[in-house]
Chains A and B, each alone.
Chain A
């Protein structure tokens, strides 16, 4: 069951929209729907797209959500989709104050989707694209049969996340690319000034996007930036290597590699795999900016509700209670962490607590009362939301002071009595822990090393080792699934029990060899 906004809520929405614009938020026009709990669960299980293709894992998600929300363990106030126009779903049971808060929250999300660099190349008409995907998949179900398609999708979902985390960063040897990639004159990016205040005029033919400093030019693949999908042609454009190795450089986009190089893959499978890859790239930025995005929305709804007085006087208690729920808990609650970090940024740039002079000040008392009346808090926040992702956000703004003030600690297992104990309060360790959780979404980084391994078209994957080994059971099962897609033996070079090994899957058997 769903409803459109009542005239009352429509008025409310206009009021909040006005306030959000007043804050400097820049968002797409946004459509609101009000849903009952059941429909909300359904749409959430479908990741926000009621038009998404049919697959049992959405049903699984639904069963799980039904239990969680039905017993009141968790509560969803809203759901926003990155689309133009923005689409937002509100829960019918929200109180009026909660609806106001949620609307403010939604506008900030849509602003983030529209302006953050990570989202620049996402499909803004995803609602329709998803519907198209569903039709294609339904067509193939009609053609080749339901269980065929389901099995193939099951297999592909095992490697759904094996895509390039930063498709616009050049990998490997950048020298050879530089020649022909510069000065191509393509610039489709909303470059809104340089956040570090570098002189833009110095740059050659074109400004770097996202306000990147000039020295980054060599690290950025401009072509890929202007259109991620155009990367597919990269291999052909490059001059021939002596080596006939495919891929020439390790390829992080495993899905793309499979689509292009899997032997004897029927066209329907290629098509479905492309669809899944496209959807995976669409959701990627949301995983990369969880803390920033939720923190941003939480900061602005809080700002609007309290400081701008959007909460009715008799709704303040209700608001405070809801807010306490939103930012409750510790550690990795992205709402809370992001919210606090933005607050910290605002304070630091309002009072000028940054830069060399502040950092080198030794007098603790002076530091505590530091205030240059700089007043750039909001400006800095907008810069940050435009140009960063979670990893950069944490690395840059989770300062030692912030960690100390928040009383963060790192726990470790004491094997003597089997208790987790406080092991450290060193800011560096804590920051590193957060970043570890965020690199590649906390998932192992996998790349294609060789598509013609053993000179017999076998697939060699490589695990980019950052200190964490793979789970062996999952590794073997996943290899078995890739085998079904690649149709030839599959290997992965990784580290197991401290030893470099190659795990191979062939004809239903796993073999692990040292190398």
Chain B
């Protein structure tokens, strides 16, 4: 009996993953996946896997036949909450398939779909450091490593078990079998070699939708990089007119308002680099999210970039989110050509400087653009 089933199940799962790929755009844009981490489970209902057949339409009025006591008019069960039009496929008989994936696997699918290159760890510092750690026990070893307490305990156990031990006349004789020695394990501790800084504008001009798009990109970038880059560190900075380093959770949840002063973010980033990451040893990436609606004429920003930040960075990825924003003063309320000036200025500035290869930019007008933006940032494999 050679069964086809493993083959069939494999084929089925590949079809399912193919379907996910089709829906990837919507999945990536899902709010509840923001900030999830590698091993977190995501349950994805996979639609349309059932074969279409002629079938009767749902007859909601028909409650079927039941059994038991009760008078006419007695309540049997509540109808489903979703009345009409609400997810008609949910709970459908055979066809519905709930697929359980980890966020990491989903990122993997995303990587395949976007044809993202695998990032090869590079640089001289991507070395695993070996640590010898005394953590185990063994029966043989050098005298110097003998564990006396364990050895005595072992001898005591043996004597109690064999009945030799007399509590009134406690005496422990150690035999060769009781000897216990320390032993060590060698562990590979990856030496961190890359740091990714996420810098988000949380000023008043960034609406919730702006921020949600920024967070989606940050979140998926983070998942993908972590899955591919061992020993990656992430730092999070938010800024309005002043900047602050925050933890991951705050970054993904916070709401603030205020003016926009991008330079404050750059200065914060520079500070962090100076404190912890020597550019000689680290690959440093900066992902920046803003609506590009900056105060002033951007002179200060470019001075900071010129004055060392650009030198320290491997790559600056700038995503400008140009979602139509009702109160956008620059556009005068028009939804077309809502474009913060920062993107153009930055591109122009970098072009003229010597850091041409170190800038990637993307402009997002709605959730549709999230995937292309991720592709732009991660597609080069830098």
Bound pair: A and B?
yes
Residues of A within 8 A of B (CB): 2, 39, 42-43, 45-46, 50, 52-60, 62-64, 154, 157-162, 330-332, 406-413, 418-425, 430, 433-434, 442-444, 446, 463, 468-472, 474-475, 477-478, 480-481
Residue of chain A at shortest CB distance from B14: A56
By the criterion CB–CB under 8 Å, are B10 and A59 in contact? Answer: yes
- In the bound complex, how far is the Cα of B72 from the Cα of A96, in angstroms? 46
By the criterion CB–CB under 8 Å, are B11 and A59 in contact? Answer: yes
Within the complex, what minimum Cβ distance (angstroms) separates B51 from chain A?
Answer: 5
List A contacts of B57 (CB < 8 A).
468-472
Does any Cβ of A come within 8 Å of B134's Cβ?
no
List B contacts of A419 (CB < 8 A).
75-79
Does any Cβ of A come within 8 Å of B176's Cβ?
no
By the criterion CB–CB under 8 Å, are A59 and B9 in contact? Answer: yes
List B contacts of A424 (CB < 8 A).
72
By the criterion CB–CB under 8 Å, are B79 and A418 in contact? Answer: yes
- In the bound complex, how far is the Cα of B64 from the Cα of A424, in angstroms? 11
Residue of chain B at shortest CB distance from A477: B52
Does any Cβ of A come within 8 Å of B143's Cβ?
no
By the criterion CB–CB under 8 Å, are B8 and A410 in contact? Answer: no
- In the bound complex, how far is the Cα of B377 from the Cα of A259, in angstroms? 54
Within the complex, what minimum Cβ distance (angstroms) separates A152 from chain B?
Answer: 13
By the criterion CB–CB under 8 Å, are A161 and B53 in contact? Answer: yes
Within the complex, what minimum Cβ distance (angstroms) separates A432 from chain B?
Answer: 10
By the criterion CB–CB under 8 Å, are A470 and B54 in contact? Answer: yes
List A contacts of B2 (CB < 8 A).
50
By the criterion CB–CB under 8 Å, are A159 and B53 in contact? Answer: yes
User: A413's contact among B49, B60, B65, B68, by CB below 8 Å, is which?
Assistant: B60
List A contacts of B11 (CB < 8 A).
54, 56, 59
Main secondary structure of the interface of B (DSSP, over half): loop
Residue of chain B at shortest CB distance from A162: B54
Does any Cβ of A come within 8 Å of B44's Cβ?
no
Residues of B within 8 A of A (CB): 1-5, 7-13, 15, 49, 51-79, 83, 94, 97
By the criterion CB–CB under 8 Å, are A422 and B1 in contact? Answer: no
By the criterion CB–CB under 8 Å, are B61 and A474 in contact? Answer: no
By the criterion CB–CB under 8 Å, are B54 and A433 in contact? Answer: no
Give the A-B pair count, Cβ closer than 8 A.
173
User: B74's contact among A58, A422, A463, A474, by CB below 8 Å, is which?
Assistant: A422
Main secondary structure of the interface of A (DSSP, over half): mixed
By the criterion CB–CB under 8 Å, are B76 and A471 in contact? Answer: no
- In the bound complex, how far is the Cα of B83 from the Cα of A68, in angstroms? 28
By the criterion CB–CB under 8 Å, are A43 and B65 in contact? Answer: no
- In the bound complex, how far is the Cα of B77 from the Cα of A419, in angstroms? 6
List B contacts of A158 (CB < 8 A).
51-53
By the criterion CB–CB under 8 Å, are A59 and B52 in contact? Answer: no
On whether A422 and B72 interact (CB within 8 A), knowing A50-B3, A409-B67, A468-B59, the answer reads yes
By the criterion CB–CB under 8 Å, are A408 and B66 in contact? Answer: yes
By the criterion CB–CB under 8 Å, are A444 and B56 in contact? Answer: yes
List B contacts of A475 (CB < 8 A).
54
List B contacts of A421 (CB < 8 A).
63, 72-76
List A contacts of B67 (CB < 8 A).
330-331, 406-409
By the criterion CB–CB under 8 Å, are B64 and A411 in contact? Answer: yes
Residue of chain A at shortest CB distance from B2: A50
By the criterion CB–CB under 8 Å, are A474 and B53 in contact? Answer: yes
By the criterion CB–CB under 8 Å, are A408 and B65 in contact? Answer: yes
Within the complex, what minimum Cβ distance (angstroms) separates A194 from chain B?
Answer: 34
Within the complex, what minimum Cβ distance (angstroms) separates B100 from chain A?
Answer: 10
List of 5 A-B pairs having minimum Cβ-Cβ separation, nearest first: A411-B63, A59-B8, A477-B52, A59-B12, A59-B9
